[in-house]
Amino acid sequence: MIPLRDSTPSGTLPFVTIGIIMLNSMMWLYQVSLGPRFDQFIMEYGLVPLRFLLSHNLQGGVLDNAMVPLVASVFMHGGWMHIIGNMWFLWIFGDNVEDRLGHARYALFYILCGIGAALIQVAFHPSSKIPMVGASGAISGVLGAYLVSYPYARIHTLLIIFFIIRFVEIPAFIFLIIWFLFQLISGTVEWGAANETGGVAYWAHMGGFLVGIVLLWIMRSNPERRTPTWEDSRSSKFFTRW
């Protein structure tokens, strides 16, 4: 499922979301400019679970081996499709969550979701020597907050099932629950395999999603921003071609 747009307009200019997208993009262009030093940069500033847990015993200490990678890795990516997919999801869902929380709280919310997601990934793969990079954990937190805030918003989606391609309109709660279940199934399979070949940090995705839900409750929402209700979605079928 590829989200194309949602039905809930933002009531404010999402300049924090735009700024995050720009910051990630600039970081990615810098990574690309490194050429043969690309992998070295990821290894140095990506979050390596084992190095994170043993940081107090390593040269550079907790700052260089844990704190800096914990934050820096949230703004780094491993490939073109990685950053394009992440920034697209952030663009679709981030503006509404920013509108709900307010700009300052949203910026803090985003960083905390990224950190929380990374720590949960470390907890499930503590012995991994593979560096973790990407905004996926933070963006998963945005998805969790969107689910709670706008469950009945409609997500215009490109649905691809083998050779069947359809444009459909899906309530946000269905879209995001399916997304979460896919992460859960994939993460469980990956965890059972216990391989060290890299891949997708599914537990960071699920962790970020749950952290986002909890943080939204702690930070509260903008009471002036109206949340779409079930009645708002009744005029449209759950799955509608457009």
Q: Show the domains of the chain with their CATH numbers.
A: 2-233 (1.20.1540.10)
pLDDT at 226 over 80: no
Mean pLDDT of 192-213: 80
Please provide residue 46's backbone torsions phi and psi, each rounded to the nearest 5 degrees: -75, 160
Lowest mean pLDDT among 75-84, 104-113, 185-194: 185-194
Question: What digits encode the pLDDT tens for the residues 102-141?
Answer: 999 999 999 999 999 999 999 988 888 889 999 999 999 9
* N-terminal to C-terminal alpha carbon distance within the chain: 15
CA-closest candidate to residue 73, choices 129, 131, 19: 131
Percentage of the chain with pLDDT > 70? Answer: 87
pLDDT value at position 162?
80
Contact in structure between 142 and 212 (CB atoms under 8 Å): yes
Residues of the chain with pLDDT > 90, as a percent, come to 60
More confidently predicted of 37 and 221: 37
